[in-house]
Amino acid sequence: MSWKDLVSQLVDKEILKTPDIIRAFNKIDRANFMTENTKKLAASDVAFPIGFGQTISQPATVAFMLEKLQPRAGNKILDIGFGSGWTSALLAELVGKTGEIYSVEIIKKIYETGKENVKKQNYKNVHFFLGSGSQGLPKFAPYDRILVSAAANELPLDLKKQLNSGGKLIIPIGGITQALILVERKNKNQFSEVHYPGFMFVRLKN
């Protein structure tokens, strides 16, 4: 099965719905962000190891998160735990030349590999930072969207504070299995939360 075949399956299952997100998935083949020995399995809808106990996420999970987040052209987005760089590339495509992606990764070797993977795709609107994303990146806040690809025990208040009014955050919260929590900032002091159970991510490191 090809990568485009998998994308078509995700569309048929109505996991992928938004035209711009479907287009980004079709354009950005996950194989370009995988290790040499797993590239040929890129069109499998499962997570794969990328070293140091980290993974490149299952396509259906990334599709689900992006559909809930709804990145738009011109958005400023914080991508925490960017790993292989695949999510950063998808986000860079979605925000276009007028948007900016701020990508954070704590493991140095993975940071270097992920950064190189994204640069090979010729995106100029991604800024890379080595370190923990658990406190976000306050220097460049506020953000229109925050994507977190590692699980925390509880919702980090620092991340909520770094959302723009109308901004959205998606993050896995929990122990062995987690719920994806979609947070939307309604105004300065009001937030909404929706919980989607049944996910499994690596842990968010401090």
Least confident range of 25-29, 98-102, 129-133: 129-133
| Domain assignment of residue 135, yes or no | yes
| Domain assignment of residue 206, yes or no | no
CA atoms within 13 A on the CB side of 21: 21
CATH number at residue 88: 3.40.50.150
Q: Range of 178's domain?
A: 3-199
| Domain assignment of residue 204, yes or no | no
Per-residue tokens: 149: 């690809």
Is the CA virtual torsion 25, 204, 73, 68 positive or negative? positive
How much is the pTM?
Answer: 0.96
| Domain assignment of residue 183, yes or no | yes
Segment 72-118, tens digit of pLDDT: 999 999 999 999 999 999 999 999 999 999 999 999 999 999 999 99
Q: What is the mean pLDDT of the chain?
A: 94
DSSP labels, 43-107: TSSS-EEEETTEEEPPHHHHHHHHHHH---TT-EEEEES-TTSHHHHHHHHHH-TT-EEEEEESS
| Domain assignment of residue 81, yes or no | yes
Active site residues: 57
| Domain assignment of residue 205, yes or no | no
| Domain assignment of residue 191, yes or no | yes
**Count: domains in the chain:** 1
How far CA 27 is from CA of 32, 93, 185, in Å, comes to 11, 9, 31
